[in-house]
């Protein structure tokens, strides 16, 4: 199979080789060094402000989203949240569950966020802003300069879900004045699923210290205390953390985060050029390098997913819910090459020849 989904994605040979090793005992200085190196490289790649800290949580990206809400927001906050698809909806449900007052900015699928969406909330006493920088469900990549300008003017605390865009599109936490950055192990980090990564600015650390988190496992005060010695309070996904270490060093050795972003961007551009003439429409107004969301004009998107899987040995990424038959996505994350895209496009052309699309 060739995997063009948005996660889990294909891992490099070195990441897979690490996955084949025995999982070591971890209350050791050697494992602490791995954790410190992971922290250092994540902060570097996220361009985190001085004094930021990183926490590695065992759980998928959604665990990172919930941990952020539970540890940095409270019922005295007034939050604005962008809801342009299923990941925006997840933030909305978390805010409701944890009783954080909020207002939702709802966007139709595929639509970009514009200044007029934010203007009504200027100077209205909001304290926090939550956004999925890349709404992976619809493939819309939001304008972070626009959001950051609004948040700076209004002194908002900013939580950014970068799960599918970290390492795939530019992100400068310091310049954007973002306070929490969330990512996960199985998207552009291209490791197995199971670890969520949080980068916390000094302002976020202040909020964590004042919060009373009513959950032991995801209490960031406990996690941060342990991370001072490169450890976690509970047994973490040791094997995945070691694979993350291999992967971060691999990116660093290959020229750093800018090189990796350019590599993924190059694959996305190559694919988008090659599908010209096929009966697909790109449905997002503002694309990320991570994913190309496609609407097949002639058939059900889900049927394309099934036929690709069963007849061509290729996974494209289906959509759920109302978009199931309308949109499928082609990812550009993980260990993929131009030759892989040539095979994918050849499969689409073969389908076209046979009259399936
Ligand atoms: C994948 C993803 C998540 C996390 O999903 P999990 O299934 O919990 O890993 C969160 N936000 C965005 C934007 C994502 O793409």
Find the helix or strand (DSSP H, E) in which 101 lies: none
CA distance 192 to 350: 32
Q: Give the chain's mean pLDDT.
A: 98
Name the residue of 6, 62, 81 to mutate for ligand 1: max ligand atoms within 8 A of Cβ.
Answer: 62
CA angle at residue 188 from 182 to 191, to 5 degrees? Answer: 95
Fold of 256-353: 3.90.1150
| Every domain of the chain and the residues it spans | 13-253, 256-353
Q: Which residues line ligand 1 (CB under 6 A)?
A: 7, 60-62, 87, 132, 134, 136, 161, 163-164, 184, 187
Per-residue confidence (pLDDT) for residue 137, from 0 to 100: 96
CB 40 within 8 A of CB 276: no
- Same CATH fold assignment for domains 13-253 and 256-353: no
Per-residue confidence (pLDDT) for residue 12, from 0 to 100: 98
Indicate yes or no: pTM above 0.85.
yes
Confidence of residue 73 (pLDDT cuts 50, 70, 90): very high
Chosen CATH of 13-253 out of 3.90.1860.10, 3.40.640.10, 3.10.20.90, 2.60.290.11: 3.40.640.10
Per-residue pLDDT of 238-283, as tens digits, reads 999 999 999 999 999 999 999 999 999 999 999 999 999 999 999 9
Per-residue confidence (pLDDT) for residue 262, from 0 to 100: 98
Name the residue of 5, 59, 60, 61 to mutate for ligand 1: max ligand atoms within 8 A of Cβ.
Answer: 61
Q: Which atom of ligand 1 lies closest to the CA of 59? A: 8
Greatest CA separation found in the chain? 63
Confidence of residue 10 (pLDDT cuts 50, 70, 90): very high
When pLDDT is averaged across residues 140-169 and rounded to a whole number, the result is 98
Q: Which atom of ligand 1 lies closest to the CA of 196? A: 9
Tokens of 145: 């300069």
Confidence of residue 343 (pLDDT cuts 50, 70, 90): very high
Per-residue confidence (pLDDT) for residue 49, from 0 to 100: 98
Question: Which residue's CA is minimally distant from atom 12 of ligand 1?
Answer: 163
Burial 71-96, CB ≥16 within 10 A → b, else e? bbbbeebbbbbbbbbbbbbbbbebbe
């Amino acid at each position: 199979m060739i995997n063009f989904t948005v996660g889990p994605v294909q891992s490099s040979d070195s990441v897979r080789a690490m996955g084949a090793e025995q999982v070591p005992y971890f209350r050791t200085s050697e494992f602490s060094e791995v954790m410190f190196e992971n922290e250092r490289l994540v902060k570097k790649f996220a361009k985190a402000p001085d004094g930021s800290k990183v926490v590695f949580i065992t759980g998928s990206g959604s665990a990172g989203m919930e941990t952020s809400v539970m540890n940095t927001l409270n019922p005295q906050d007034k939050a604005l949240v962008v809801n342009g698809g299923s990941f925006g909806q997840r933030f909305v449900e978390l805010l409701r569950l944890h009783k954080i007052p909020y207002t939702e900015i709802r966007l139709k699928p595929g639509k970009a966020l514009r200044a007029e969406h934010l203007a009504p909330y200027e100077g209205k006493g909001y304290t926090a802003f939550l956004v999925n920088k890349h709404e992976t469900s619809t493939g819309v990549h939001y304008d972070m300069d626009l959001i950051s300008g609004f948040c700076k003017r209004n002194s908002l605390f900013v939580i950014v879900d970068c799960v599918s865009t970290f390492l795939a599109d530019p992100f400068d936490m310091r310049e954007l004045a973002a306070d929490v950055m969330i990512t996960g192990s199985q998207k552009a980090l291209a490791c197995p699923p199971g670890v969520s990564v949080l980068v916390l600015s000094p302002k976020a650390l202040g909020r964590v210290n004042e919060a009373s988190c009513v959950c032991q496992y995801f209490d960031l005060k406990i996690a941060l205390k342990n991370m001072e010695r490169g450890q976690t309070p509970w047994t973490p996904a040791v094997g995945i953390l070691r694979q993350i270490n291999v992967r971060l060093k691999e990116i660093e050795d290959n020229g750093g985060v800018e090189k990796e972003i350019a590599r993924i961007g190059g694959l996305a551009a190559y694919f988008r050029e090659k599908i010209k003439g096929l009966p697909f429409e790109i449905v997002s107004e503002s694309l990320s390098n991570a994913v190309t969301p496609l609407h097949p004009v002639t058939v059900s998107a889900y049927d394309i997913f099934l036929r690709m899987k069963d007849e061509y040995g290729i996974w494209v990424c289906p959509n759920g819910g109302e978009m199931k038959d309308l949109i499928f996505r082609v990812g550009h994350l993980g260990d993929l090459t131009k030759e892989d895209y040539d095979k994918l496009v050849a499969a689409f052309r073969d389908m076209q020849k046979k009259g399936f699309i």
